[in-house]
Amino acid sequence: MKKFSQTMTVAFLLSLPVTVFAAGYGSAGCGLGSIVIGSESGMKQVFAATTNGTSGSQTFGITSGTSNCEDNGLIKLSKEREVFAQENYTSLVKEMAQGQGENLSTLASLYQCSTESHQAFGTMTQEKFEYLVINDQTTSAELLGQLENELTSHDKLAKACSITVSALN
C-alpha cells in the first residue's frame, strides 16, 4: 500500500505542468505554505498544502496579492480604479455631470457593475454629482471615496456592483 501511494504521488507530480513551478511556488499553490516550505517537489508539497489550508493564507493571498500569490486580486482592482480616475479625471467629471460616457462606463466596469446597471450607474453619478465633486479642488481619490459611499447606499447598485473600498491599499 505504501509503495502504491508513493507511485501515485510521483505520477501526480510528473503530470503537473512545468508552469506551476515557474510561478514561484510548488504544486500546493501560493500561500504561507509556499513561503515556509518552498517550491521543492515531493512530499513537502503535502505539508505546504496543509499549511495553506489550515491557515487560510491561500484565500487571503489570492484576494490581496500577498503570500507569494500573484497580484491580481481585489486590491489590484481598487488600485486600477484609482489610476484610471486620476488619468481620466477631467473627462470622467464631465461624463458624471452628463450621466453617460465611455470613461464613466469603464469606471462602472472597474467596479464590476453588471452591464445592465451601467445606465443606473451614470444616472446616479449625475444625480449625486454635487456630492461626488464637491468643488474644483476635489481630487480623484476624494471622488472615488464619495462614489463608493454613494454606491454602498444605493439599493440597486450596491447589489449590481462589487465595491472594494480603495482605502484597503
Domain count, the chain: 2
The answer to whether residues 121 and 104 touch, using CB atoms and an 8 Å cutoff, is yes
Q: What is the value of pTM for the model shown?
A: 0.56
Provide the residue range defining the domain that includes 119. 74-168
Q: What is the pLDDT of residue 24?
A: 53
pLDDT band at 163; cut points 50, 70, 90? confident
Mean pLDDT of the chain: 75
> Which DSSP string corresponds to 54-69?
HH-HHHHHHHHT-TT-
User: Is the model more confident about 69 or about 91?
Assistant: 91
Domain end, chosen from 17, 43, 64, is at: 64
Residue 67 near residue 58 (C-beta atoms within 8 A): yes
Distance CA 48, CA 68 (A): 12
Residues 162 and 123 in one domain: yes
**Unique residue bearing C-alpha cell 501515485:** 8
My answer on whether 58 and 78 are in the same domain is no
48 and 113 part of one domain = no
Domain co-membership, 28 together with 82: no
- Is-contact 29 16, C-beta < 8 A? no
Check residue 120 and give its pLDDT.
96
69 in a structural domain? no
